[in-house]
Structure formats: C-alpha cells, structure tokens
Amino acid sequence: MDILLVGAGLSGAVIARVLAEAGHRATVIDARPHVGGNCHTERDGDTGVMVHVYGPHIFHTDDEGVWDYVNRFARFRPYRNRVKTTSQGQVYSLPINLHTINQFYGRTLRPDEARAFIEAQADRSISDPQTFEEQALRFVGPDLYEAFFKGYTIKQWGLHPSELPAAILKRLPVRFNYDDNYFFHRFQGMPEEGYTAMIEGILDHPGITVDLNRSFTRDQAAGFDHIFYSGPLDGYFDYELGRLGYRTLDFERFTYDGDYQGCAVMNYGEEEVPYTRITEHKHFSPWEEHDGSVCYREFSRACDEGDIPYYPIRQVREKALLSDYVARAETESGVTFVGRLGTYRYLDMDVTIREALDAGQMFLAKGGDMPVFAVPPL
C-alpha cells in the first residue's frame, strides 16, 4: 500500500519505518526544512556544539523495547539529567532531594528525619490532590512549593498552579536521599550525533521517501491508501471549530567564551525572573569538548497563529474543544491522528515512539483498516 505520513518527527518516522519494513511504500512530508520535529538537533557552525534547536530533549524510558529500538539507529551515550535551580539567592539541586531539603532549611537531616520533617510541613488535610498546588502542598509543603514550583509554573503555563492538574507535578520525583537524577527511568542517554541523525537513520529505508518543505493540505490525500497525521489536530480541520491552546517557547540564544553555568539546565524558580530556564547545550554532550558555548534563555508564552506549538494546555476549555475535534475527526476515514500534536497530549519521546510502533503494528495486523485514533486523546 501507499501511505502518507504527515510530519517527519518521531511519530511519522517510526510508523514509516514499521510500514516500509513490512513492504509498504511510505511518503513522509514535513513543512519544515529538516526532519526530527521539535527534537531537531544541529551542530553550531562556530563552536561545534550540538544544539537542541527547539529546546532540551533528554531520552529516558522504562520501556526496554523502545530503548532497543532507538539504539538500533543511534549510538547512545550515558547521560544523567542533573538539573539545578536558582531561587531566593541560592543554587539548589533538583528534583527535590535530601541535598535540596538540607540546604534549604540549613539542616543535616538523615533520610528518615527528612521524610518526617517534610511530612510535618505538608498539608495532610489534602487527601486526594487534584491540582498542581494541592499536590505540592501535600507532598513538599508551602516553603519548597513557593521557592521551586509556584513561580516557575506560573511562568511556564501562564496559569496559577491551583488551575493546573496534579499530573504535571507528578512528573517530578521527591527523594529522601542524595540521588539527583531528574528521571527515575531505567534507561537514560543521549544520541551521540543528535536526534536528527537518529531520525534520519530511522527514515533511511528504500521504502521511504522524505519530502521536506512541503505543507500538507487535505487534497494531497488522493493517491494514498492511508494517512498518518502527526500535525496539529485542529490544523487538519483548518481550525474550523477554533484553536486548541498551546504554550510556545521563545529562545534567546547567546554564546559565551567558556563555561557559562557549569550545567546543562538551570531553572529559575522565581516569577520575577522572566525566563523559566537557561540551557547550555554543550553540557548535553558531556563526552565532547568545546571552548565556546551556546546557551538559550527560555521564555514561555501563549501560542499564537504562526508560532510553533509545544505544550498542550488541556484546561477545561481546551478539553471541551478537543472533544468537539475528536467527534469531528471520527467522521473521517482513511486517516489516523498520532503523536503529541495529532492527539493533543503532553508526550515524552519514549511514549511517542512506543505509540508509533504500536500504531504501525496495528496497521499491519488490521490490513490497513485503522481507527481514526490508535490512542484516544481524551
């Protein structure tokens, strides 16, 4: 069969590969001049630093199948994400761990003591935290919440933490030991030559044709047996019901002769500092040596027409609109919506790959008779 994949990010590339390996012909198009979507990486011409062009991406997963899969297409180097945060005039370690707690409170608590100490700060009247704020007050108490989460989250989401779901904070662990690994997954690493090279490797198959700088319009469906669409769900329907809300990011790029901050990611917890974080890209490739440095100051704001969508907002209003778009999509045939933008979900890379592998397999198992959503967005 002839299949069109709209979007050359992880979803499009992985599904194309599954189908091509099974003998189908896959055409992958992307409006941008490069593959990789928002994972795109590019070496800076002056410094030689591998830059995460659309912001930092660190690969971490518990899914051994996904880990094996990415290792087929890239050599992964060990990488531990150790994030720092600046707040109230000091630099602290994230995620909140024993070092953070002891430094913040000027104590020398052991693990059990720290657990009891934090539990005493926590608001135990909250039994089933629903919002980000409730989750924070229940598990770390008001002091740490104010210093590390409140301002950052207001900047990141443009919303008060009392309006955001607890699930967003549940992404971050709290540890009563000195483990400062930001993630708790078994496998973690960074592709040696960047994500774009890895995704080019996935797309490098005789059954796959890649067409860049090509925007999708629905009339291009003619001639294809099926479409996998990983662009914005509302964009597929020309925004006829309105726009799904996203946060977009602005990066203020600057270079530095030397080591600017000594780590890859420095968050800024306070609302008064206008950016959420500064990333120093050479530290994402700690096995490389570079004299010069490329850094991004990262600012978050509402995504407007023409901006690049990053984080789906998924508040009550957006969910209502999403459900209208899902109903609209269910009337279509010959198309399957996939990935972060196609299903309007906050997805990590490993989950995106898992879902793409499964969608590709589902296509093969069903002989192409695919549902509109392989994973329901709601």
Residues classed as catalytic: 171, 175, 247, 277, 298, 346, 348
* 149 vs 229 by CB, closer to ligand UDP: 149
The rounded Cα 269 to chain-centroid distance in angstroms is 20
* Alpha carbon distance 238, 177 (integer Å): 50
Partners of residue 257 on adjacent β-strands? 292
Q: Is residue 145 close enough to count as binding ligand UDP by CB under 6 A?
A: no
**Is the previous residue joined to 142 through a cis bond, with omega within 30 degrees of 0?**
no
Name the residue among 253, 70, 82, 320 with its Cα closest to residue 183: 82
Query: Angle CA(195)–CA(200)–CA(203) in degrees, nearest 5?
Result: 130
* 14 vs 265 by CB, closer to ligand UDP: 265
* 282 vs 340 by CB, closer to ligand UDP: 340
Q: Which stretch binds ligand UDP (CB under 6 A): 13-21, 102-110, 147-155, 256-264?
A: 147-155
- 77 and 306 Cβ atoms separated by less than 8 Å: no
Q: Is residue 295 close enough to count as binding ligand UDP by CB under 6 A?
A: no
Site string (29-68) toward ligand UDP, x via CB under 6 A: ----------------------------------------
Q: Is residue 148 close enough to count as binding ligand UDP by CB under 6 A?
A: yes
Rg (CA), the chain: 22
DSSP assignment of 284-349:
GSTTS--SEEEEEEEEEEE--TTSPP-EE---HHHHHHHHHHHHHHHT--SEEE-HHHHHT----H
**Sole binder of ligand UDP in the list 35, 140, 144, 172 (CB under 6 A):** 172
Q: Per CB under 6 A, which of residues 267..286 are in contact with ligand UDP?
A: 267, 269
* 187 vs 228 by CB, closer to ligand UDP: 187
Q: Which stretch binds ligand UDP (CB under 6 A): 21-29, 35-43, 164-172, 187-195?
A: 164-172
Q: Is residue 188 close enough to count as binding ligand UDP by CB under 6 A?
A: no
Q: Is residue 168 close enough to count as binding ligand UDP by CB under 6 A?
A: yes
Size of the site for ligand UDP (CB under 6 A): 13
Task: Give the burial string for 117-143 (b: 16+ CB within 10 Å, else e).
Answer: bbeebbeeebeebebbbbbbbbbbbee
CB of 43 to ligand UDP, least distance (A): 23
Q: Would you call 253 helix, strand, or coil by DSSP?
A: strand
Q: Which stretch binds ligand UDP (CB under 6 A): 3-11, 40-48, 163-171, 289-297?
A: 163-171
> Which positions ≥6 away from 104 have C-beta within 8 Å?
92, 143, 144, 147
Binding site for ligand UDP (CB under 6 A): 85, 94, 148-149, 152-153, 156, 168-169, 171-172, 267, 269
